[in-house]
Homo-oligomer: A and B are copies of this chain.
């Protein structure tokens, strides 16, 4: 790409839009803004600007479009595939301070937010009104704009779906600065091509989200979790799809294995109760009627013990137990990161029937390559998070093992009907694998779509396609 190199005049103009205290240039750009959470790729922008409202975004894009300057949008920077890294320099457009909750509409059960609002702030805001935003990605300090841009999933996807299912409308700024409204406060929509659904998951390459209208529902009055231990990984993983099939949809159905559990316990200095088993399912049910949930728990417990070889069933019913179990579960990624010098991730999603066989293969790759590969996963929805760990390997060895390891894992996943990414996206890091899976034809269509939105290719170049 042949982009315009920012000069002093450009910098001065951009500063004039957001104000001097909100723009950073050269050595004043903090190191953290050159990479994301995993840091597998890194690059500095020419200018890092914080936008405070949609007119800032629109004015910056008008200028960038006219001058042919690349623009990369950033939220909290919690991504894992390098999507917010300004590979071609230019403008790093930071929306983390566009973080106002605009309107909670109780009649239409919608929440209008700016893109920089954090997931945890959304939960807090709506739950005190007895309302519920169901998507539950692990990283609660991610922005909603980032969640929408990766179509984030999380632990409640099995029952409540993913971020896509909870976005009713978007207001976006197009690469030329024009603002358009997609969808709205409406439940149904068959009005032309699904542009809103195209923006969702497009990782900042098609348009910039400046406002989102989220769907809410009345908050389920009660949630109960079960910690169900098994003698082996195989037993636990086989139980999961059976339990879904033979009972009701749980709210969450997570798989824990001794190894990841120990990393997390060590990292957090906390232990879960009953932590001496090889493998567990962590199962939740929610609802409004106490008796109905008790019945769900009873049926599930009986099925687990009588039919699926569970060794026991522990009710996670006190606030203390709930906190310890879910905190340890939530600490997996941080713990694995802390256990080594560098990690890279495989975020495949598979039909849930194939998880057992796939994890078997992961163990084989780990043995063959002599590399540590901890993992954890949402067995309820088939999405696994698998981490290759650098440990004491040299940079060259690490690159080689990553190459061979990823190739093996993705190929096996494809053969099982899996896809490259369940919820973390493609960004920079997974482009090669997506290309392999989808093939040239789908890529060509995607490139055509990209050109329809962004004919000058100034929005987040080098990502996704």
In the complex, whether A424 has a CB less than 8 A from a CB of chain B is yes
- Are B193 and A464 closer than 8 Å at their CB atoms? yes
In the complex, whether A273 has a CB less than 8 A from a CB of chain B is no
What is the bound-complex CA distance between A296 and B349, given in angstroms? 36
* Chain B residues within 8 Å of A450, by CB: 193
- Are A107 and B184 closer than 8 Å at their CB atoms? no
- Are B195 and A437 closer than 8 Å at their CB atoms? no
* Given A105-B353, A195-B442, A352-B107, A422 and B190 contact (CB-CB distance below 8 Å): yes
Chain A window 280-303, contacts with chain B (Cβ cutoff 8 Å), 1 for yes, 0 for no: 000000011101100110000000
Chain A window 414-445, contacts with chain B (Cβ cutoff 8 Å), 1 for yes, 0 for no: 00011111111110000000100111011011
* Given A292-B288, A349-B187, A353-B107, A426 and B241 contact (CB-CB distance below 8 Å): no
- Are B107 and A186 closer than 8 Å at their CB atoms? no
In the complex, whether A202 has a CB less than 8 A from a CB of chain B is yes
In the complex, whether A29 has a CB less than 8 A from a CB of chain B is no
In the complex, whether A30 has a CB less than 8 A from a CB of chain B is no
* Chain B residues within 8 Å of A217, by CB: 249
| Residues 87-115 of A contacting B (Cβ, < 8 Å) | 105-110
In the complex, whether A162 has a CB less than 8 A from a CB of chain B is yes
Other-chain contact of A417, B157, B162, B185, B425 (Cβ < 8 Å): B185
Interface residues, chain A, CB within 8 Å of chain B? 105-110, 150-153, 157-158, 161-162, 164-165, 174, 178, 180, 182-195, 197-198, 200-202, 206, 217-218, 241-242, 244-245, 247-249, 287-289, 291-292, 295-296, 347, 349-353, 380-383, 417-426, 434, 437-439, 441-442, 444-453, 464-465
29 contacts between A and B (CB under 8 A): A107-B353, A108-B241, A151-B188, A157-B187, A180-B442, A184-B418, A186-B351, A187-B380, A187-B383, A188-B381, A189-B422, A190-B424, A192-B446, A192-B465, A193-B198, A193-B450, A193-B464, A193-B465, A194-B194, A194-B200, A197-B198, A217-B249, A218-B244, A218-B248, A288-B295, A289-B291, A291-B291, A447-B452, A448-B453
